[in-house]
């Protein structure tokens, strides 16, 4: 069983290996990558963005058995000067670049999860 002793199944290469919080239920076995995080708490903006590759290898739903990106984005901003808007845009652009990198990692994770091709 997964739990404090770790996952039952071996982790894929992209998994950060943190399984200590998981329930002692086989169906809940979950792999999760190191998340891409953007967090800003200031008088001007309150931003929390997180995205990570996750996989439930033993889930009943087939689509949950394939690695996918789970994302949460919450942002509230009161940008009073044009320079604040530009700074906010730059921050989001940087985060978007990291999401593009995560997309490439997801592509590799999904290829790695497929059964090997037979022939050619």
Residues at the site binding Zn ion, with contacts judged by CB under 5 A: 11, 15, 31
Task: Choose between 31 and 106: whose C-beta lies nearer to Zn ion.
Answer: 31
Tell the smallest beta-carbon distance from residue 42 to Zn ion (Å). 35
Are the beta carbons of 99 and 52 closer than 8 angstroms? no
| Rounded least distance, CB 19 to Zn ion, Å | 6
End-to-end CA distance of the chain: 38
Instruction: Please say which residue, 14 or 36, places its beta carbon nearer to Zn ion.
Output: 14
Distances (CA, A) of 27 to 51, 56, 59, 86, 120: 22, 8, 6, 45, 35
Nearer to Zn ion, 31 or 38 (CB): 31
Least distance between Zn ion and beta carbon 62 (Å): 19
Tokens standing for residue 60? 């009943």
DSSP letter, residue 74: E
List the structure tokens of 101.
């990198």
Residue 15 or 109: the one with the smaller Cβ distance to Zn ion is 15
State the nearest-atom distance from the C-beta of 55 to Zn ion, in Å. Answer: 8
């Amino acid at each position: 069983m997964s739990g404090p002793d770790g996952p039952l199944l071996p982790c894929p290469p992209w998994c950060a290996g943190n399984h200590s919080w998981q329930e002692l239920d086989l169906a809940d076995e979950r792999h999760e990558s190191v998340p891409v995080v953007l967090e800003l708490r200031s008088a001007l903006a309150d931003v929390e963005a997180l995205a990570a590759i996750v996989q439930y290898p033993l889930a009943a739903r087939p689509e949950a058995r394939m690695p996918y990106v789970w994302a949460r984005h919450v942002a509230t901003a009161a940008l009073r000067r044009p320079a604040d808007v530009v700074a906010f845009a730059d921050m989001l652009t940087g985060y978007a670049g990291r999401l593009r990198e995560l997309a490439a990692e997801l592509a590799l994770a999904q290829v790695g999860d497929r059964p090997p091709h037979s022939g050619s």
